[in-house]
């Protein structure tokens, strides 16, 4: 992508590998990010704490937005549901939170309008991912078209652009990019459970393990 020096942007920051790498990518390319962190009733606060730690490490402004989804509908929100150990191809897993990223990106769009920010960075990946429909390039293009039809900035001839720099990368490529960018991998958290160490058996732990192994790099969380 074209480097835009001193451009403001918003980064959706979960504290995980992909979103943190996206944040560092934005900084490396001359952007000045505002981090948007969500507390949406997930099983644990560890990823939120990771995101805050990473934003503070870079000295960035951030917002923590609390959202209530009392209807749940996901094993990330409902402790009565079991987190799956395996995800079949073309299957949307129980860890999918209904319309979560549509909600997150909509709030990011609101923040972008207020702060007059053109770019929203989103760490979506459609290669090594858990089957979520809102991690696909098709979704991102459609969402971007929608917000530019239904916002004041869009109607007045401006544009909000959703940037997904990792969209076509494998997990191992993301790990290598993270190392190149100097991402503090020891501060990132990917596990769906909030224990002292990653559980190693949930789908996101397996994806992370696969990425580090194929990249030939040791995951500091497993040392």
Mind giving me the DSSP string for 60-80?
-EEEEEE---TT--STTT-TT
- pLDDT computed for residue 6 by the predictor: 54
Please tell me the least confidently modeled range out of 82-96, 99-113, 119-133, 141-155.
Answer: 82-96
Percent of the chain with pLDDT over 70: 95
CATH assignment at residue 32: 3.40.50.620
Q: Residue range 145-169: average pLDDT?
A: 95
The pTM of this model reads 0.94
Q: Residue range 143-167: average pLDDT?
A: 95
- pLDDT computed for residue 182 by the predictor: 98
- pLDDT computed for residue 106 by the predictor: 97
Residue 1 falls within a domain, yes or no? no
Of residues 195 and 216, more confidently modeled: 216
Number of domains in the chain: 1
Contact 106/95 with Cβ under 8 angstroms? no
Residue 43 falls within a domain, yes or no? yes
Residue 2 falls within a domain, yes or no? no
- pLDDT computed for residue 89 by the predictor: 67
**pLDDT above 50: residue 1:** no
Helix (H) or strand (E) holding 112: helix 100-115
pLDDT in tens, 5-54: 558 999 999 999 999 999 999 999 999 999 999 999 998 999 999 999 99
**pLDDT above 90: residue 130:** no
Residue 25 falls within a domain, yes or no? yes
- pLDDT computed for residue 126 by the predictor: 87
Which residue's structure tokens are 């990223």?
A: 101
Q: What is the DSSP letter of 82?
A: P
Domain that holds residue 23: 7-222
Residue 161 falls within a domain, yes or no? yes
Please tell me the least confidently modeled range out of 25-29, 188-192, 203-207.
Answer: 203-207
Nearest to 28 by CA among 177, 162, 173, 137: 177
């Amino acid at each position: 992508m074209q480097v835009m020096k001193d451009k403001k942007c918003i980064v959706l920051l979960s504290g995980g590998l992909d979103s943190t790498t996206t944040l560092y990518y934005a900084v490396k390319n001359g952007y000045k990010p505002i981090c948007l962190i969500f507390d949406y009733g997930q099983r644990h606060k560890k990823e939120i704490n990771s995101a805050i730690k990473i934003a503070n490490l870079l000295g960035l402004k951030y917002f923590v937005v609390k959202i209530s989804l009392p209807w749940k509908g996901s094993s990330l929100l409902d402790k009565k549901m079991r987190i799956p150990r395996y995800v079949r191809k073309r299957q949307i897993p129980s860890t999918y939170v209904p319309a979560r990223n549509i909600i997150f990106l909509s709030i990011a769009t609101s923040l972008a309008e207020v702060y007059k920010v053109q770019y929203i960075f989103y760490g979506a990946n459609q290669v090594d991912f858990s089957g979520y429909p809102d991690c696909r390039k098709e979704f991102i293009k459609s969402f971007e078209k929608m917000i530019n039809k239904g916002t004041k900035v869009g109607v007045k001839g401006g544009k909000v652009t959703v940037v997904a720099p990792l969209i076509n990368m494998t997990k191992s490529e993301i790990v290598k990019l993270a190392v190149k960018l100097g991402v503090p991998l020891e501060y990132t958290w990917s596990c769906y459970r909030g224990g002292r160490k990653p559980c190693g058996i949930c789908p996101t732990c397996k994806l992370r393990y696969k990425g580090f192994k194929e990249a030939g790099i040791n995951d500091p969380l497993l040392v």
